[in-house]
Amino acid sequence: MIGKHALADDRRPSMPAKVLSGILAMWAMSSFACMGLLPMYAPATWELPLSVASNVVVDGAGEIYCGTQAYAQVQVYDKYGAFQRRWGVKGGGPGRLELTSDGLLRVCEGRGRYVATYELNGSLVSREEARRAGVATCSGTQSPSFPRYEMRGSMFLPGHVVRIEENGSEVDVVPARMYWYLFQAPFPSFFFFWIGAAVFYGKEVRGRLCGDNG
């Protein structure tokens, strides 16, 4: 009887494994909640993570425009990397951004059906179907002159903006903020959720194997 009870205990996940998986699951859910709620309810003065970033363009005054698809936002920074403002984009968030010759920002929405044009302060000028606007896709290209700007990052790491000088040196103009690593949605937290699940069920599988071997 004692041996059976011992094997049954081995099959149960340990308390630390339960606690860890619970914490990580809550972390994941809070990240998804942030992805949906922050753009709607957070003040426009709040900077959101550059998650699933599209591309970056820079206007003549040096202001930097970044698209983040996970939060469906265009975020603007000054030439020193200080956050200035942001606004929401429909249709799956910003796909590609480009500056027009008349000083407007054209945004090809992520789902590819619509093209929206904004003033640089975020005021919507027009939103048309891509075919009607005569635009298949926004090029997102920059002038070949230096300095050039690139968006770095991935689905697992927050985006950040790098300025590339003519001599090849790079400057991190908009660095990834430390809190972005905790709350960026969706994949970093989702990744940790699966770590918690692996710990949880790994303990359970090990217990079953020990029971079978016994």
What lies within 8 Å, CB to CB, of 110 at 6+ separation is: 54, 69, 72, 89, 91, 92, 93, 94, 95
CA atoms within 13 A on the CB side of 54: 30
Same domain, 172 and 98: yes
Contact present, 135 and 94 (Cβ < 8 Å): no
User: Would 79 be classed as within a structural domain?
Assistant: yes
Give all strands (DSSP E) within 42-120, no chain letters.
Answer: 53-58, 64-68, 73-77, 83-88, 94-99, 105-109, 114-118
Helix (H) or strand (E) holding 170: strand 170-174
Q: Which residue in 19, 25, 12, 23 sits closest to 201, CA to CA?
A: 12
Same domain, 115 and 62: yes
Identify any residues that bridge with 96 across adjacent strands, giving them in sequence order.
108
Same domain, 71 and 136: yes
User: Would 43 be classed as within a structural domain?
Assistant: no
pTM of the predicted model, to two decimals?
0.70
Number of domains in the chain: 2
User: Would 42 be classed as within a structural domain?
Assistant: no
Same domain, 141 and 204: no
Distance from C-alpha of 26 to C-alpha of 193, rounded to nearest angstrom: 8
Q: pLDDT of 107-165, one tens digit each?
A: 988 667 888 999 999 999 998 887 765 554 555 555 556 788 888 876 667 788 999 98
Q: Which residue in 35, 29, 116 sits closest to 69, CA to CA?
A: 35
Contact present, 200 and 17 (Cβ < 8 Å): yes
Q: pLDDT of 49-104, one tens digit each?
A: 887 777 889 998 999 999 888 788 899 999 999 999 999 888 777 878 889 989 99
CATH number (domain holding residue 107): 2.40.128
Provide the domain limits for residue 122: 48-176
